[in-house]
């Protein structure tokens, strides 16, 4: 879908990277119109609205596989 109803990115078949022996962490921030939302892998860390824009930040952490 796109236009006034939003935008959808088509899924691609890509593998999830695993860094053996090292933890992986990243933070992703997405800026969309206030009426829309974004969903990505990870936990929602913040959701702010400023000047008609919604800014969502997500945090993802892959624990060190040696510690499990």
The answer to the question of residue 10 being in a domain is no
The answer to the question of residue 50 being in a domain is yes
pLDDT computed for residue 21 by the predictor: 63
The answer to the question of residue 1 being in a domain is no
The answer to the question of residue 34 being in a domain is yes
Which domain covers residue 38, as residue numbers? 16-67
The answer to the question of residue 9 being in a domain is no
The answer to the question of residue 55 being in a domain is yes
Whether the predicted model's global pTM rises above the 0.75 cut: no
The answer to the question of residue 7 being in a domain is no
pLDDT in tens, 8-61: 555 555 555 666 666 778 899 999 999 988 888 889 999 999 999 999 999 988
* DSSP, residue by residue, 2-56: -GGG---PPP---PPP--TTS-EEEEEEEEEETT-----SSEEEEEEEETTEEEE
Pick 67 or 46 by higher pLDDT: 46
Total of domains in the chain: 1
């Amino acid at each position: 879908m796109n236009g006034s109803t939003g935008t959808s990115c088509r899924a691609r078949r890509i593998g999830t990277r695993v860094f053996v022996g090292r933890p992986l962490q990243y933070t992703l921030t997405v800026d969309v119109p206030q009426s829309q939302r974004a969903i990505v892998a990870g936990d929602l860390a913040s959701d702010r609205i400023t000047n008609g824009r919604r800014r969502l930040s997500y945090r993802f952490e892959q624990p060190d596989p040696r510690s499990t």
